[in-house]
């Protein structure tokens, strides 16, 4: 608020503990360096703003003249191989934003991509390189690709797809025969990229692993429906194929639908949904591509929106709220976030096992793995004996409320009330009842407003 309003005295008060140390804490901390980086990023949105802040003879210009100590501490921390990864990355962030040290900071981040470095430092270095927006980043990441561990490769791929020119460089690398082993989700992101040149090049060079149309792939895998599936093996298939976006029995990421909801589906429907995900896309699970004013590309689900912002659930499971004023373009695909081509890493037996795991749902762990023959997995089959015999009944209800200015907020010593609400107050109740046992009710409130 102080920055937006140009309140120089308030800004000076806020920056003093960031740019100075005390007798009890004589060294700069990672938190101070991170805060300074965020401040600089905000100021950089308006060209010439920092120079204006230095003008005048007041507390703000005086404190901004004292950045040398923080910069010197950053040089020392970044070069200290014994320092924690957070401290080194925070220091590198400071140096990236100091023009005299930027080139050295970029060189240091490149060195941190080496296989000798800890994995968390490698990943953090990739994120810092992404934030730098330097033109050298695509070449740097692609050159280091072969030596990066899987987690760092995922971070590198996401970084490369965060800006259109970088995504094109990634597609070009693939077109030159470099096998980058992108997973299905990231291949789909390139194939669905809003940039025409990225989309066209990716379409030429990426093979989804499907022979012909999706309908033919589904037909080719129908023999899997006649095989006996094993849920224990199916859990292993789920772990290597589906865990990135789906969650079952506490396993996986909660990006796509929770697959406990499909336990009662016929096996043939599950087969089609797995191999042809775009044939039946549920509301709320279409992919969106959002480009920000600074060129950053976001790809994921549109989780919620208000009059002033949109919140996206990204493919790594994180969420990001974006003010509408920062959105340059938004395109909603008619396709699912779930990619096709998963059959490339599966045999017919793998498919039978995966379907059995999905049909058993959360009962797999308790039952020790349930096995059915293909003939038992038709439309009339029970979802699973463990659930069927439990006698457990579950009911749920939800209501959306519009608050007024008299609705109190809990959690404060003094009375506080909602003001200028955007969105709604949503209350959800789930009741679990088992004959002969206590009834359990769980109530949650999801409050969506901006004060």
Task: Give domain limits for the chain.
Answer: 2-148, 214-280+339-388, 286-336, 393-447
Cβ(73)–Cβ(25) below 8 Å? no
Token digits of residue 302: 């549109």
What one-character-per-residue DSSP string does 52-63 give?
HHH-SSSHHHHH
Cβ(137)–Cβ(166) below 8 Å? yes
The H or E element that residue 125 is part of is: helix 119-132
CA–CA distance, 375 with 266 (Å, rounded to integer):
11
Cβ(420)–Cβ(451) below 8 Å? yes
pTM above 0.75, yes or no: no
CA–CA distance, 92 with 78 (Å, rounded to integer):
6
Cβ(274)–Cβ(354) below 8 Å? yes
Architecture per CATH, 214-280+339-388: Orthogonal Bundle (1.10)
**Helix (H) and strand (E) counts in the chain:** 20, 12
Task: Enumerate residues 6+ apart whose C-beta is below 8 A from 169.
Answer: 138, 139, 142, 160
Tell me the three state secondary structure of residue 417: strand
Cβ(293)–Cβ(328) below 8 Å? yes
286-336 is classed CATH 3.30.1330.30: no
Strands across the sheet containing 440-447 = 393-401, 425-433, 440-447
Q: What is the pLDDT of residue 424?
A: 58
Alpha-helical runs (H) found in 79-163:
85-96, 102-111, 119-132, 137-144, 150-160
Phi, then psi, of 25 in degrees rounded to 5: -140, 80
Task: Label the pairing between strands 327-336 and 319-323.
Answer: unpaired
CA–CA distance, 101 with 78 (Å, rounded to integer):
12
Task: Label the pairing between strands 247-248 and 229-230.
Answer: unpaired
Tokens 């809990």 locate to: 410
Residues of the chain with pLDDT under 50: 1, 208-212, 362-389, 411-417, 420-422, 448-451
* Distant-in-sequence contacts of 171-175, Cβ < 8 A, 24+ apart: 171/198, 171/201, 171/202, 171/205, 172/201, 173/142, 174/202, 174/205, 174/206, 175/201, 175/204, 175/205
Cβ(218)–Cβ(276) below 8 Å? yes
Nearest to 313 by CA among 331, 298, 328, 297: 298
Tokens 């077109």 locate to: 175
CB neighbours (10 Å) of residue 235?
Answer: 22
- The model's pLDDT over 194-219, given as tens digits with 9 standing for 90+, comes to 899 999 999 888 754 443 477 888 88
Cβ(408)–Cβ(417) below 8 Å? yes
Token digits of residue 443: 């109530």
Phi, then psi, of 295 in degrees rounded to 5: 95, -10
Cβ(129)–Cβ(141) below 8 Å? yes
Nearest to 355 by CA among 338, 339, 337, 343: 343
CA–CA distance, 285 with 181 (Å, rounded to integer):
25
The H or E element that residue 405 is part of is: none
For 167-193, give one letter per residue: b (16+ CB within 10 A) or e.
bbbbbbbbeeeeebebbbbbbbbbbbb
Cα atoms found within 13 Å of the Cα of residue 37, Cβ hemisphere only: 19
Q: What is the pLDDT of residue 169?
A: 96
Nearest to 69 by CA among 110, 33, 122: 33
């Amino acid at each position: 608020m102080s920055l937006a309003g140009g309140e120089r005295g308030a800004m000076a008060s806020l920056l003093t503990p960031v740019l100075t140390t005390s007798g009890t804490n004589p060294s700069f901390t990672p938190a101070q360096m991170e805060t300074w980086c965020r401040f600089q990023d905000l100021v950089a949105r308006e060209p010439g703003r920092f120079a204006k802040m230095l003008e005048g003879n007041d507390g703000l210009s005086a404190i901004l003249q004292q950045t040398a100590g923080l910069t010197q501490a950053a040089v020392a921390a970044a070069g200290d191989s014994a320092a924690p990864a957070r401290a080194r990355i925070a220091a590198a962030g400071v140096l990236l934003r100091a023009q005299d040290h930027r080139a050295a900071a970029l060189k240091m981040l490149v060195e941190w991509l080496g296989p000798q470095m800890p994995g968390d430092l490698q990943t953090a270095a990739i994120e810092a390189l992404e934030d730098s927006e330097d033109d050298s980043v695509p070449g740097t990441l692609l050159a280091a690709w072969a030596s990066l561990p899987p987690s760092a490769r995922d971070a590198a791929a996401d970084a490369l797809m965060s800006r259109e020119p970088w995504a094109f460089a990634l597609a070009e690398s693939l077109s030159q025969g470099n096998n980058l082993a992108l997973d299905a989700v990231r291949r789909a992101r390139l194939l669905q990229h809003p940039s025409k040149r990225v989309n066209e090049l990716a379409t030429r060079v990426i093979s989804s692993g499907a022979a012909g149309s999706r309908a033919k792939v589904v037909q080719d895998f129908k023999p899997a429906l006649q095989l006996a599936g094993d849920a224990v093996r199916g859990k292993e298939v789920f772990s290597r194929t589906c865990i990135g976006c789906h969650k079952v029995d506490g396993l996986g990421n909660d990006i796509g639908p929770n697959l406990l909801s499909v336990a009662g589906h016929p096996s043939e429907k599950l087969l089609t949904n797995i191999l042809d995900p775009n044939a039946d896309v549920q509301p709320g699970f279409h992919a969106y591509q959002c480009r920000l004013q600074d060129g950053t590309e976001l790809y994921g689900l549109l989780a919620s929106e208000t009059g002033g912002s949109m919140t996206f659930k990204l493919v790594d499971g994180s969420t990001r709220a974006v003010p509408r004023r920062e959105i340059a373009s938004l395109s909603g695909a008619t396709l699912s976030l779930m990619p096709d081509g998963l059959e490339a890493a599966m045999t017919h037996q793998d498919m039978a096992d995966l379907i059995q795991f999905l049909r058993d749902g959360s009962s797999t762990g308790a039952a020790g793995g349930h096995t059915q023959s293909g003939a038992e997995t038709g439309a009339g089959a029970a979802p699973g004996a463990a659930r069927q015999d439990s006698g457990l009944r579950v009911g749920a209800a939800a209501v959306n409320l519009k608050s007024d200015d008299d609705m109190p907020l809990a959690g404060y010593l003094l009375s506080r009330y909602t003001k200028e609400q955007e969105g709604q107050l949503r209350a959800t109740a789930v009741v679990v009842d088992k004959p002969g046992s206590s009834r359990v009710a769980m109530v949650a409130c999801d409050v969506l407003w901006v004060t």
